[in-house]
Amino acid sequence: MTTNNWPTGQWTTNLFDCWDDSSLCVKTCFCPCVTIGEVVEILDQGTTSKGHACLLAYAMGTIQCGWIYGRRYRRKLREIFKLPEAPYSDTLISCCCCVCGICQEYRELKNRGTDPALGWEGNVEKWKREGVTVPPIPTSAMIR
């Protein structure tokens, strides 16, 4: 498990490293709502399902407001891991580089020990099997 291999306060990959995982890049390019749904389920610790998040992202995208949803969760990820708002602001990335931003967020979760494709419950089961006592994502409701 790679939970503690990455220092807090530093992104594990660059924004434009999309092709590091080509299947993720292609999936996100053609179905960004699916990838963001997976990310949101993890960041909301299972309180928002992947399907619900996917539908909400799609609905907001159809009225040209998807960037608001993307920005919210990018900020949440940054706050959890104390990551810098770099190389650009969350708003600019969510508006102009949304596919790259979503891929980076997914990779960040994966590199820190969470597999967004498994969903929240799948990751909880995986952590139990691996004997992880402190999950990579803080489970306290005190997250701001």
Confidence of residue 143 (pLDDT cuts 50, 70, 90): very low
Q: Give Cβ neighbours of residue 128 (< 8 Å, ≥ 6 apart).
A: none
pTM confidence score = 0.88
Residue 25 has pLDDT above 90, yes or no: yes
Residue 144 has pLDDT above 60, yes or no: no
At 79, list the tokens. Answer: 């706050």
Tell me the pLDDT tens digit for each residue of 62-93: 888 888 889 999 999 999 999 999 899 999 99
What pLDDT score does 4 carry? 52
Q: Counting beta carbons within 10 angstroms of the beta carbon of residue 74, is it exposed (0 to 12), middle (13 to 18) or buried (19 or more)?
A: buried
The full set of domain ranges for the chain reads 25-119
